Amino acid sequence: MDVTAVASQFEHEDGYVKMKKRVKEGALIVDDPNSMELEEMITNDKPDLILAGIKEKYMAHKLGVPSLMIHSYENGPYIGFEGFLNLAKDMYSYIYNPVWKMLEFEESPVENDESKIIAESIETPDKAEVGK
């Protein structure tokens, strides 16, 4: 599994530093992305699955990408050993659900220009760039 982007809302700088250490080189780290940024990330990355909240769920579905609500009030729980098994089962069922092959989706109006920067760099206390 490759993580192409991570986002958070109300995260502190040290949280973004931890995120950067946990993802591969080239993964996008975004602070509180808006709808336009989310649509551009989904259109450019074409992920198999999005783990997110309610804000991203329906946009992802409109773009033909399954979205698993990672908050435990819809599915889950996703904590501990049993929680990880629940998460793996839910991820599998969302990715391989046959409905995604039956539906037709319109092309996104967002330009697919890889050179656009979706998020600005975040400066950490030691001036390291986190967002790139």
| Residue-range domain boundaries for the chain | 5-102
CATH 3.40.50.1980 for domain 5-102: yes
pTM of the model: 0.66
Cα angle for residues 106, 107, 108 (degrees, 5° grid): 115
> What's the CA dihedral at 128, 113, 3, 55 to 10 degrees?
100
Residue 107 banded pLDDT, cuts 50, 70, 90: low
Q: What is the token pair recorded at 45?
A: 């990355």
The label of the residue with tokens 């993580």 reads 3
Predicted confidence (pLDDT) per residue in 1-48, tens digit: 788 888 888 888 898 899 899 999 988 888 888 889 999 999 998 999
Mean pLDDT value of segment 83-100 = 89
Query: What is the C-alpha separation between 16 and 129, in angstroms, rounded?
Result: 10
Is 42 exposed, middle or buried, given 0-12, 13-18 or 19+ CB atoms closer than 10 A? buried
- Helical (H) or strand (E) element with 90: helix 80-95
Please say whether the beta carbons of 94 and 49 come within 8 A. yes
